[in-house]
Structure 1
Amino acid sequence: MKVEPLISVRDVEASSLFYQTLLGCESAHGGDEYEMLTHEGKLLLQLHCRNALEHPGMCASEIPVGNGVILWFRTDNFEESVSKVRKLDPEIVAEPHVNQNARQHEIWFRDPDGYLVVISDNIGDARD
Structure 2
Amino acid sequence: MVKLDPIIAVKDVLSSSRWYEELFGLKSKHGGSNFAVLQDESGETVICLHEWGSHNHPSMTDPTILPGNGLILYFKTTDFESIRGKAEEMEVQIIQDTHLNTNSNRLEFSIKDLDGYYISITEYHNYQG
TM-score for the superposition, normalised by structure 1? 0.88
CA RMSD of aligned residues (A): 1.7
- Please give the alpha-carbon distance, in whole angstroms, between the structure 1 residues aligned to 2:63 and 2:78: 37
From 57, 62, 66, the counterpart of 1:55: 57
Instruction: Check conservation: 2:52, 2:62, Cα contact below 8 A.
Output: no
- The question of 1:6 aligning with 2:3 is answered no
Runs of 4+ in structure 1 over 2 Å off: 59-63
1:8, 1:58 within 8 Å by CA — same for their partners in 2? yes
Q: In the aligned structure 1, how far is the partner of 2:9 from the partner of 2:77?
A: 24
Aligned CA distance change for structure 1 residues 56 and 101 (closer, same or farther; 3 Å): closer
Q: How does 1:117-128 map to 2 (within 5 A)?
A: 117-123=119-125
Calculate the TM-score normalised by the size of structure 2: 0.88
Q: Does residue 1:29 correspond to 2:14, yes or no? A: no
Aligned residues: 124
Q: Which residue of 2 aligns with 1:68?
A: 70
Structure 1 residue runs of 5 or longer lacking an equivalent are: none
Unaligned runs of 5+ in 2: none
